[in-house]
Structure 1
Amino acid sequence: MAKTNPFQFVQQVRSEAAKVTWPTRRETAITTVMVFVMVLLAAVFFFVADQVLGWGVGLLLGTLG
């Protein structure tokens, strides 16, 4: 494995970090809202699926009624 002195390493890290394209504040806000919406949709879906499966299992085991 090639050895790099610490100064060269820091230079390479700074060079690579300069290539990163950072999102704008607006892009970050939109993405954050989208994540919260998807989490909410997933939570509703799994809640409904859990209720339906619970009802189905209760019906099969005869505990409802």
Structure 2
Amino acid sequence: MATKTNPFTFIQQVRSEVAKVTWPTRRETLISTVMVFIMVAFAATFLFVSDQLIAYAIGYIMGTGR
């Protein structure tokens, strides 16, 4: 079971842990953000095309053919 820590000690521990974090640079953040948007665009395009192909195939099989 966890022991209780007083709030002042807890805040000191949090600050010391945050100081150990290696924060990304502005450039790294920008590159990561752009890459996320590119991958989202690729995924959206892939899913849209896949959905259209499946809809066409089902329509063809069911005889409603578009």
Task: Sort the TM-score into its range (normalised by shorter chain).
Answer: over 0.9
Considering only aligned residues, what root-mean-square deviation do their CA atoms show, in Å?
0.9
Q: Measure the CA separation in 1 of the matches of 2:53 and 2:65.
A: 13
How do 1:9-48 and structure 2 match up within 5 A? 9-48=10-49
Name the counterpart of 2:58.
57
TM-score by length of 1: 0.96
Aligned length: 65
TM-score by length of 2: 0.94
Please list the CA deviations of residues 8-56 of structure 1 after superposition, one character each: whole Å capped at 9, or x if unmatched.
Answer: 0000000001011100000000000000000000000000000000000
Q: Measure the CA separation in 2 of the matches of 1:18 and 1:12.
A: 10
Q: Which runs of 5+ in 1 are unaligned?
A: none
